[in-house]
Amino acid sequence: MAQSYGDDGNKGVPFVAPATTNPIAGLKDISWSFATLWWADNYEIRDEAKPVYIFGGNDYPLRGGITGLYYPRTNGSKGLTFGFDLSLAADFSIKKQTINTVLSWWNETLSGIENPKPAKPEWGIYPTLVNADLTITSEETFVQPIIVELISMDGIPIFTIQQNTIGLNAVNINLSAANLKSGTYLCRISTSDQVLVKRIIKL
């Protein structure tokens, strides 16, 4: 594995671009709030993985190096890793577009459920800006236990719990016990035949 700046003659990568074979439709080039980005990772990947982002720049020494990748795991789940810090993107619109595109993709692909149906509108997750407790609601009583997963934006599972919600309309999930750092996460709720993924921000 190489890194921008450390292995490119102290230049830094000017931007990253979606790889031509990346599985996430709609991703755009990402430039930085600085002229170049230092210490972005350039990965060597296994055959089963797919590039998502590559280093850009016509004269950049590491141009074409893989800095974002998607990979299936042996347990049937899927992973997504970026080798750069998205928070350093040039402006908020780039961050928002990237997060929303990835979130939409997760909604379709993250589930281990075969052909899951979208969650009905009565499911809800609030607040989206959360300090400690996250509440999951249903306008109708839950008829199955639910599985709640918290996942980082690069696809790393943080925790998974199963809640016995049969006959309930709401359940509270205490995030304090997970010792979460402040940042953006994906919260995924699923039953045997439905799945809902929403973005939350830990304050």
Same domain, 75 and 121: no
Residues constituting the chain: 203
pLDDT tens-digit profile of 51-108? 999 999 999 999 999 999 988 766 556 678 899 988 899 988 898 899 888 888 877 6
Where a domain ends, among 109, 136, 151? 109
Q: Integer distance in angstroms from the first to the last C-alpha of the chain?
A: 33
pLDDT at residue 77 in the model = 61
Same domain, 75 and 172: no
Same domain, 151 and 131: yes
pLDDT at residue 171 in the model = 78
- Structural domain of 189: 117-202
Residues 6+ apart with CB under 8 A from 62: 2, 4, 7, 8, 13, 42, 55
Where a domain ends, among 62, 89, 109? 109
pLDDT at residue 184 in the model = 83
Q: If you average pLDDT over residues 11-27, what whole number do you get?
A: 92
Same domain, 20 and 86: yes
pLDDT at residue 186 in the model = 83
Q: Is the pLDDT of residue 117 over 60?
A: no
Same domain, 6 and 37: yes
Q: 201 falls in which pLDDT band (50, 70, 90)?
A: confident
Tell whether the torsion through CA atoms of 179, 182, 183 and 188 is positive or negative: positive
In the chain, how many domains are there? 2
Same domain, 183 and 159: yes
Same domain, 94 and 188: no
Q: Round to whole Å and give the CA distance between 147 and 142.
A: 12
pLDDT tens-digit profile of 121-170? 467 787 778 877 788 887 777 788 888 888 887 677 787 888 777 777 77
Where a domain ends, among 93, 109, 125? 109
Same domain, 122 and 105: no
Q: If you average pLDDT over residues 187-192, what whole number do you get?
A: 80
Same domain, 53 and 22: yes
Please report, for the domain that includes residue 182, its CATH number: 2.60.40.3080
pLDDT at residue 61 in the model = 94
